[in-house]
Structure 1
Amino acid sequence: MVSLKTVSEGDAIPAGVATNLRRSLFWMVVVALALRLAVVAFLYPERLSPDRDHWRFAGETGRIAQSIVESRGFSSPFRGSTGPTGIMPPIYPSLLAGVFRLFGIYTRASALVMLSLDSLFSALTCIPVFLIAQRSFRGRTAVWAGWAWTFFPYAIYFSADFIWVTTLATLMLALLFLAALHLEDSTRVALWIGCGVLTGIGGLMDPVVLSVMPLLVLWMCYRRLQKKQRWFVPALAAALACGATVAPWMIRNHRVFHTFVPLRDNFGLELYVGNNGSTWHFAPAGFHPSSADRERNEYVQIGELAYMRHKQAQAVALIKAHPGDFAELTLRRALYMWTNFWSFSRRYLEAEPLDPPNIFLCTALTVLALEGLKRAFQRGASIGMPYAIALFFFPMVYYVTHPQDYYRRPIDPIFVVLAACAVTSWMQGSRKTGAEPTSDPPVISSATYSTKSRPPARPNE
Structure 2
Amino acid sequence: MQTGRAFPLFFDLDKKITAASAFRVSLVFWLIYSFVYLVLKGENVDYFGFENGNIAASVARGEGFADVMATGKQQPTAWMPLLYVYLLAGVFYLTGIKSTAALWMLSLIRCVVLAGGGYLAFKIGERFGRLQAVVCTLSFIGYMTGFSYIMVSNIFTEEWLMAVLLLLLVHQFILLFFNEHVSETYAAIVAALCALSSPILLAVWLGLFVIYVATGTLNHLLPQNWRAISHTTIAWKPTLVAIAAIVVIFFAWGIRNHYAMGKFIPLKSNMWMEVYLSNVMSQDGLLWKDVLHGNHPLTNQAARAAYMAQGEVDFLKAKEMAAKQYLADHPTDYLRKVARRFINAFGYTDMNQQATDWSEVSLKQHIRSLMVAFIPLLALLINLFTYRLQKPALTVMALVYVGCIMPYVLISHFSRYQFFAMGLQAVFVGLAFCIFVHRIQTGRFFPALISRKSL
TM-score normalized with structure 1 length? 0.79
Q: Which amino acid aligns with 1:31?
A: F
Task: Give the corresponding residue for 2:404.
Answer: 394
2:241 is the alignment partner of 1:258: no
Task: Give the corresponding residue for 2:328.
Answer: 320
Distance in 1, matches of 2:387 and 2:42, equals 40
2:210 pairs, out of 218, 222, 237, with 218
1:305 pairs, out of 313, 322, 345, with 313
Distance in 2, matches of 1:345 and 1:28, equals 31
Contact 2:188 2:238 in 1 (8 A): no
What is the Cα deviation at residue 305 of structure 1? 0.9
| Change beyond 3 A, Cα 1:65–1:24 | closer
What is the Cα deviation at residue 347 of structure 1? 4.8
1:429 pairs, out of 428, 436, 439, with 439
Distance in 2, matches of 1:116 and 1:125, equals 14
Distance in 2, matches of 1:126 and 1:203, equals 23
1:182 pairs, out of 175, 179, 198, with 175
| Change beyond 3 A, Cα 1:279–1:253 | same
CA-atom RMSD in angstroms: 3.1
Task: Give the corresponding residue for 1:29.
Answer: 27
| Change beyond 3 A, Cα 1:387–1:23 | closer
1:101 pairs, out of 85, 93, 103, with 93
Task: Give the corresponding residue for 2:299.
Answer: 291
What is the Cα deviation at residue 221 of structure 1? 2.1
Q: Deviations over 1:431-457 (max 9, x none)?
A: 99x9xxxxxxxxxxxxxxxxxxxxxxx
Task: Give the corresponding residue for 1:173.
Answer: 166
| Change beyond 3 A, Cα 1:103–1:240 | closer
Contact 1:62 1:93 in 2 (8 A): yes
Task: Give the corresponding residue for 1:39.
Answer: 37
- How does 1:55-454 map onto structure 2 within 5 Å? 56-80=47-71, 81-135=73-127, 137-152=128-143, 153-154=145-146, 156-161=148-153, 162-186=155-179, 191=183, 194-225=186-217, 226=219, 227-230=231-234, 235-279=239-283, 282-283=287-288, 284=291, 285-342=293-350, 347-348=355-356, 355-362=365-372, 363-377=374-388, 379-380=390-391, 382-429=392-439
Distance in 1, matches of 2:68 and 2:77, equals 7
SS at match of 2:120: helix
Distance in 1, matches of 2:99 and 2:41, equals 15
Q: Deviations over 1:412-444 (max 9, x none)?
A: 222221211111112112899x9xxxxxxxxxx
Q: Which amino acid aligns with 2:313?
A: L
| Change beyond 3 A, Cα 1:84–1:344 | closer
What is the Cα deviation at residue 355 of structure 1? 4.3
Q: Deviations over 1:313-350 (max 9, x none)?
A: 11221222222221111111121122344599995359
Question: How many pairs does the alignment contain?
Answer: 408
Percent of pairs with identical residues: 20
Q: Which amino acid aligns with 1:377?
A: R
What is the Cα deviation at residue 146 of structure 1? 0.6
